[in-house]
């Protein structure tokens, strides 16, 4: 087993700086998620770690070994992609065994590893099937199994769930997490989905425009975002941003940009900051709870209400802010204050 270290790593494609000065340490056995919007450099960072992309600045270490010039196959990693290709004419067992046979692993050792992977993935009953006889979720489990039987130092996963439907995605998310906890192999997992990041990562590295914006546990990112970008990216529905002047309030830190999550914006009652008054712009009713977008002056805030929707677009609404939920950011740089 081994940790991973990016040390001031950069990647340039001509004029595009896909990754800038990335320094990130991933502990042995840790599940690290790289998350960020499209084009933020996540995949490039992962591909450099895999050896599929040359590094233009800095160093990458797997364990103690600097791997900048080490060929992909010598890095002792296993990758899982969203597009996994299984061999259609081979059984699941043979699909899992294929890479090991090519590496001349002894056949009783292959049998042991394949059966162990099948047990971990709860697919022992599927070993004699062919890929055509599997559901999408089962096929994705075989793809995971192929990485697992390698028993690598590090797993690299690039959006492995994005071809699954929503329900299966949630389920497989849990399975990957459980699996990783059982085998405790260092894992670097790329996704653009912040919910996936929040539910899977021991820690999360948030990237934006090639830069690492913040790295921390899901709770740290949610409670103490380092800047406006992270604050807006993590959490769903998103944090609302406004200034006191925009909504006609005098707030503890005047002039700063204020961020507040929906759960800290509630229909008016005594004890809240306010009242604020605005017009309902949208209603997102989820059944047990409802998010209501309200336009106040030049700002739009999302209000959280328990229960079913009782408001309609165009309604006037009074609401207030829970003070402990307010976060302040520098209006120019976006840095947390």
Residues that bind ligand ATP (CB under 6 A): 13, 16, 18, 36, 38-44, 192
Nearest residue (CB) to ligand ATP, 42 versus 150: 42
CB 116 within 8 A of CB 95: no
CB of 222 to ligand ATP, least distance (A): 21
Tally Cβ neighbours within 10 Å of residue 131: 18
CB of 56 to ligand ATP, least distance (A): 12
CB 80 within 8 A of CB 24: no
In three-state secondary structure terms, 97 is: helix
Nearest residue (CB) to ligand ATP, 75 versus 192: 192
CB of 40 to ligand ATP, least distance (A): 4
- How many helices and strands in the chain, by DSSP H and E? 9, 18
Nearest residue (CB) to ligand ATP, 81 versus 98: 81
Exposure string of 316-335, with b = 16+ CB inside 10 Å and e = fewer, is ebebbbbeebbbbbeeeebe
Nearest residue (CB) to ligand ATP, 43 versus 140: 43
CB of 270 to ligand ATP, least distance (A): 46
Q: Give the position of tokens 């849990």.
A: 174
Burial of residue 277 (CB within 10 Å: 0-12, 13-18, 19+) is middle
Nearest residue (CB) to ligand ATP, 208 versus 302: 208
CB of 296 to ligand ATP, least distance (A): 34
CB of 99 to ligand ATP, least distance (A): 25
Backbone angles phi, psi at 68, to 5 degrees: -45, -40
Nearest residue (CB) to ligand ATP, 52 versus 335: 52
Q: Is the dihedral of CA 272, 276, 280, 281 positive or negative?
A: negative
Nearest to 216, CA basis, from 82, 35, 56, 86: 35
């Amino acid at each position: 087993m081994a940790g991973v270290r990016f040390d001031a790593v950069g990647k340039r494609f001509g004029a595009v700086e896909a990754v800038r000065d990335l320094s990130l340490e991933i502990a042995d056995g840790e599940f690290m998620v790289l998350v960020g919007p499209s084009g933020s450099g996540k995949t490039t960072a992962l591909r450099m770690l895999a050896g599929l992309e040359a590094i233009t600045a800095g160093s990458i270490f797997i364990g103690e070994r600097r791997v900048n010039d080490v060929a992909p196959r010598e890095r002792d990693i296993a990758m899982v992609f969203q597009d996994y290709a299984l061999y259609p004419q081979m059984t699941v067992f043979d699909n899992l065994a294929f890479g090991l046979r090519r590496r001349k692993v002894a056949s009783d050792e292959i049998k042991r590893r394949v059966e162990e992977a099948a047990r971990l993935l709860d697919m022992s009953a599927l070993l004699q099937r062919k890929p055509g006889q599997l559901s999408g979720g089962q096929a994705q489990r075989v793809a995971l199994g192929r990485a697992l039987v390698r028993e690598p130092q590090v797993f690299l996963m690039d959006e492995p769930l994005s071809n699954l439907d929503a329900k299966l995605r949630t389920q497989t998310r849990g399975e990957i997490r459980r699996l990783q906890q059982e085998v405790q192999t260092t894992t670097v997992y790329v996704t653009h989905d912040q919910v996936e990041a929040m539910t899977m990562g021991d820690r999360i590295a948030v990237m934006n425009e090639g830069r690492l914006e913040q790295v921390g546990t899901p709770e740290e990112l949610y409670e103490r975002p380092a800047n406006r970008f992270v604050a807006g990216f993590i959490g769903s529905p998103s944090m609302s941003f406004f200034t006191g002047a925009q909504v006609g309030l005098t707030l503890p830190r005047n002039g700063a940009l204020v961020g507040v999550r929906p759960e800290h914006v509630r229909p008016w009652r005594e004890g809240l900051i306010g009242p604020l008054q605005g017009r309902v712009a949208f209603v997102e009713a989820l059944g047990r709870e409802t998010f209501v977008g309200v336009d106040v002056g030049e700002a739009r805030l999302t209000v959280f209400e328990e229960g079913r929707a009782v408001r309609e677009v165009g309604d006037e609404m009074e609401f207030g802010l829970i003070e402990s939920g307010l976060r302040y950011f520098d209006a120019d740089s976006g840095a947390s204050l």
